[in-house]
């Protein structure tokens, strides 16, 4: 019995002597993870932005909304791109037989509004169609423009409040920024990611505005 007690005591002391490693340490707080993620996003954003061609905006001549999307493209059976995004970005979304959302809760990251009616939300093109036209999309084929307007892979489509979408209109970051400063980092990196993928130009004022927003990625 004495030997058993001594063995237990030695085992306890051994365990206490084991240093805390990365595997046993307390995981980082969610806020720290978000800050690190934002910082990494800002670094990637600055790298992609540096690769974009800086030029004067092109003419808007010939632009029409229909040159991009006479209608939303269908992606999953009866569901078009707009309906897919509403279901993706919402919570407790219920859809009818035609795939149209009839109930749900949506959060607008631009202004922080929580909306409980599909009639109060819009699916925003982060890089507006008219702005994309003046950035080089006017030279694309109709098929490429339609793919851009319905892109579910890049961060081009986002649910936002109708009021924020109207306020933004076709403006770029040098003229409009999300009312929520906390979203500036994500907004800038999304904008740059889309432009980088599609090899669109940026203006000097646009680039300066994006760099200013990327500074908020440092947490």
For the chain, which ranges sit under pLDDT 50?
A: 1-27, 30-31
Q: What burial class does residue 19 get, using C-beta atoms within 10 Å of its C-beta: 0-12 exposed, 13-18 middle, 19+ buried?
A: exposed
Report pLDDT for 35. Answer: 53
pTM recorded for the entire structure: 0.81
pLDDT for position 86: 96
Give 112's contacts (C-beta < 8 A, 6+ positions apart). 179, 180
pLDDT 10s digits, 32-71 = 555 556 656 689 999 999 999 999 999 999 999 999 998 8
The pLDDT of residue 68 is 96
Q: Measure the CA–CA gap between 115 and 104, rounded to whole angstroms.
A: 8
CB 191 within 8 A of CB 43: no
Return the SS3 of 61: coil
Dihedrals φ, ψ of 102, to 5°?
Answer: -115, -10
Instruction: Map out the domains of the chain as residue ranges.
Output: 32-218
Distance of alpha carbon 197 from the chain centroid? 14
The pLDDT assigned to 218 comes to: 78
Q: How many of the other CB atoms lie within 10 Å of CB of 67?
A: 18
Q: CA–CA separation, 124 vs 120, rounded Å?
A: 13
């Amino acid at each position: 019995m004495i030997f058993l007690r001594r063995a237990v005591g030695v085992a306890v002391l051994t365990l206490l002597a084991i240093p805390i490693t990365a595997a046993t340490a307390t995981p980082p707080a969610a806020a720290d993870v978000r800050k690190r993620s934002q910082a990494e996003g800002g670094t990637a954003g600055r790298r992609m932005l540096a690769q974009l061609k800086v030029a004067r905006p092109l003419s808007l001549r010939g632009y029409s909304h229909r040159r991009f999307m006479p209608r939303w493209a269908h992606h999953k059976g009866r569901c078009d791109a707009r309906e897919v995004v509403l279901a993706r970005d919402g919570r407790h979304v219920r859809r009818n037989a035609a795939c149209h959302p009839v109930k749900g809760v949506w959060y607008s990251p631009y202004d922080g509004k929580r909306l409980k009616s599909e009639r109060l939300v819009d699916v925003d093109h982060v890089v507006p169609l008219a702005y994309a036209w003046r950035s080089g999309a006017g030279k694309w084929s109709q098929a490429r423009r339609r793919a851009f307007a319905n892109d579910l892979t890049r961060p081009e489509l986002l649910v936002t409040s109708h009021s924020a979408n109207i306020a933004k209109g076709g403006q770029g970051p040098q003229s409009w920024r999300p009312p929520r400063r906390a979203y500036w980092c994500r907004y800038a990196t999304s904008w740059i990611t889309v432009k980088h993928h599609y090899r669109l130009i940026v203006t000097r004022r646009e680039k300066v505005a994006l760099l200013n927003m990327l500074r908020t990625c440092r947490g």
